[in-house]
Chains A and B, each alone.
Chain A
Amino acid sequence: MSVRDELYDYINENFLYLQPDLELTDEDRFLELGVIDSTGVVELVGEVEERYGITVEDAEITEDNFGSLAGLVRFVSSKRTAAV
């Protein structure tokens, strides 16, 4: 499974069930649509660190990196590349 599909499944499973009518696109902003709130982002950061074995620094938890599926995929990919 691709990183995108893995992350989509995680978000779908843990957050999207609250809004069953919402069809989330990769560019949709989580916060604007009410998909994720502050504690949700904390969970998401923990999940990404554990699943991909990466370390997230404080200043990296931004809307660019964690605010949409596309952003998240970009961020995870760049961190994994950097780690190799």
Chain B
Amino acid sequence: MAVRTLDDHLRASAARTPAKTAIVAGDRRVSYDELDRLADGIAGGLIASGIERGDRVGVFLPNTVEGAASIYGVLRAGAAFSPLNPTMKAEKLGQVLADAGAAGIICETAHRGVVGAAAALAPSLRTVVCVGEGEAGDIPFAQLAAHEAPRSLRATAIDLAALIYTSGSTGKPKGVTLTHQNMTFAAASLAEYLEMQHDEVVLLCLPLSFDYGLYQLLLTVLVGGTLVLEKGFAFPGRVVGLLESEGVTGLPGVPTLFGVLLGLRGLGDRELPALRYLSNTGAALSVTTIAGLRETFPAARIYSMYGLTECKRVSYLPPHLIDVKPASVGIPIPGTEVWVEDGDGNVCAPGEVGELIVRGPHVMQGYWNDKDATAKRLRPGRWAWERELMTGDLFKRDAEGHLYFVGRKDDMIKSRGEKVAPREVEEVLYAVPGVRDAAVIGVPDALLGSAIHAYVSVFEDAELDERMLKRACAAKLEDYMVPQRIEIRDELPRSTAGKIDKLVLSAQALERLAAATA
């Protein structure tokens, strides 16, 4: 059958191998046929509840069967889904739902309170679906899923499929708009270079709300493999157990996950003959971690990759080069092109540093409702109808064309593989009564990629300590954005222009780090 929309992947796999296990989550095993029918029911139920073609529906669920099925159900209803991190707090959730003009949200009992508080900020929200016990007026998930399938195909390839919110340097989250075409292209390109097979068993410990996690679902369903869903990797003993018991073939991770795994005693003695590949993105793998992975998983291919939500993925290092060029993130993904450009728009010579530009069918359509931000990332391309993505990341390439990440043009931090805007954390700190100044920086950390450090000065009569400030952050921010360290100082260093000098703070943090490891 022809694949036009993302949910066609599910239809095709369900038609090909209906009895095959699509999703494993805890004790549940769901076949392709069951997943397909679940998506049908959700779609029918959403339409019956008043969700219309083109509406945006938030999926505010952890890694569960319901979370995975909801994504396909929303799409099948002709609507677009917005994956939302379940640790998001009420105020931000409200902001995001309001920005998206979301008509519906699918959540579970544990987060129903947060949704209630957020709904007050999002007047567009009409439908709340709750997995488990909800509130009066909610549609129980089980009831939704019991509906008949909608009769006609409701979306086309150029319709909006997903609205993925990502941190922006201004501190305000931006919605990346992706069509079905964007996403079916990206999924096929990724599956191609990962050489994914129909017998793939992918273990996902990263949240489905994170686009890297989301794509594991899309890729597995595309090839007709099995996705094992885990709620995080807090208990790595369970991860190790699943690698063995499920015969996992693919393990997507971020440096934090691989760091935790390599720190385990006994892992290297296990034989994991099924494990074919490990993939990393979100932040660069250190050369030490790569060496550790090579030693612990000698038979697995290691993919070092680079990307941004705005085009899903940019590049990957062909795995046979991992020992030769461990610091490189390789070549553009199949079907796309990239180049490094100087400030005047000239293509840089090998070794020269410039901005990475991306061109291909995976490039987003723009930021939702934000023309100015879109204009800073997308510019007219080779043809009148196309636009190129200016990544804002500094790169260089070597003589053979392999890419190397050099740094960012803005001050965004990558922690646990996720993007954190210092401004967003600073705003939470500034909102604490008694805080005079706040500055947030990223500091290299073996486990986190970058640790988030905050420096705060307080007014004289303020009685604040680090713990109170950390608590304030934990109450407002997603878990991965909460600073690991908050330091209160009499005064923060300032540049001659009077701005807080983050370079001085970074230099001091690095000195302390060097002293601690010396």
Contacts and interface: CB of A to CB of B under 8 A. Distances in A.
Given A17-B471, A31-B232, A42 B87 contact: no
B474 A18 contact: yes
Interface of A: 17-20, 31-32, 34, 36-42, 55-63, 65-67
B471 A58 contact: no
B237 A38 contact: no
Contacts of A66: 235
A58 B467 CA distance: 32
Contacts of B266: 57-59
Contacts of A55: 265
A31 B234 CA distance: 8
Interface residues of B, number: 29
Nearest to A39: B447
A78 to B, nearest CB: 15
B479 interface: yes
Nearest to B465: A17
B241 interface: yes
A31 B205 CA distance: 14
B236 A39 contact: no
Contact of A38 (B110, B232, B267, B467): B232
B115 interface: no
Contacts of B231: 31
A32 B265 CA distance: 26
Contacts of A58: 236-237, 240, 264-267, 270
B210 interface: no
Contacts of B241: 59, 62
Interface in B236-288: 236-238, 240-241, 256-257, 260, 263-267, 270
A36 B235 CA distance: 11
Most buried by A among B264, B467, B479: B264
A42 B270 CA distance: 20
24 contacts: A18-B482, A19-B471, A19-B474, A31-B231, A31-B232, A36-B234, A37-B234, A38-B233, A38-B257, A38-B260, A40-B234, A42-B263, A42-B447, A57-B265, A58-B237, A58-B266, A58-B270, A59-B241, A59-B266, A61-B264, A63-B234, A63-B235, A65-B237, A66-B235
A61 B237 contact: yes
Instruction: List the 6 closest pairs (A to B, CB-CB), nearest first.
Output: A58-B264, A61-B237, A62-B237, A58-B266, A38-B234, A18-B474
A41 B259 CA distance: 13
Interface string B84-123: 0001000000000000000000000010000000000000
A20 B235 CA distance: 24
B470 interface: yes
Contacts of A39: 256, 260, 447-448
Contacts of B235: 31, 41, 61-63, 66-67
A59 B265 CA distance: 9
A31 B467 CA distance: 20
Given A34-B87, A58-B266, A61-B264, A41 B471 contact: no
A38 B256 contact: yes
Contact of A37 (B110, B232, B267, B270): B232
A60 to B, nearest CB: 6
A2 to B, nearest CB: 24
A58 to B, nearest CB: 4
Contacts of A31: 231-232, 234-235
Given A58-B265, A63-B234, 7 more contacts: A17-B467, A41-B236, A42-B260, A42-B447, A57-B265, A60-B237, A61-B238
Contacts of B236: 38, 41, 58, 61
Given A39-B447, A39-B448, A58-B266, A18 B238 contact: no
B183 to A, nearest CB: 28
A16 B233 CA distance: 20
A69 to B, nearest CB: 15
A27 to B, nearest CB: 17
